[in-house]
Amino acid sequence: MPPRILSKSDDISYAYRIIIEGTLDPALLPYLNDWDISYNKKNGKVDPEDENRISIMTGPIPDQVALSGLLDVLIDHRYILLSVNRIPFNSINNKNNN
């Protein structure tokens, strides 16, 4: 079961940048409400048909339980986690307001 919908309106001070191998399943997008999702190739060039594509997701997570739930969903969908990094929440707010 997917985690609850995650939104920037939650009262949090940190966000996470999660990088997975492959392209994120579109069925998961509604659960990552207000998240920035981008795709890139491991060597820096983007090719939608390339199997070396990675998905970069950046957004708010209110607590460790929600983070664990999201990571469980990604693992259940057989994604390979490349990195999970906590970043200041205001860094994604500033990026989106420019």
CATH number of the domain within which 21 lies: 3.30.70
Torsion of CA 36, 39, 43, 46, to 10 degrees: -130
Range of the structural domain that residue 87 is part of? 14-93
Q: How far apart are the first and last CA of the chain?
A: 35
CA-based nearest residue to 3, from 52, 68, 56, 47: 68
Domain tally, the chain: 1
4 inside domain: no
29 inside domain: yes
- Mean pLDDT on 1-8: 52
| φ, ψ (nearest 5 deg) of residue 5 | -65, 130
Q: Is the pLDDT of residue 19 over 80?
A: yes
9 inside domain: no
67 inside domain: yes
Confidence band, pLDDT 50/70/90 cuts, at residue 9: low
Rounded to whole angstroms, how far apart are CA atoms 81 and 83?
A: 6
How high is the pLDDT of residue 1?
A: 46
1 inside domain: no
36 inside domain: yes
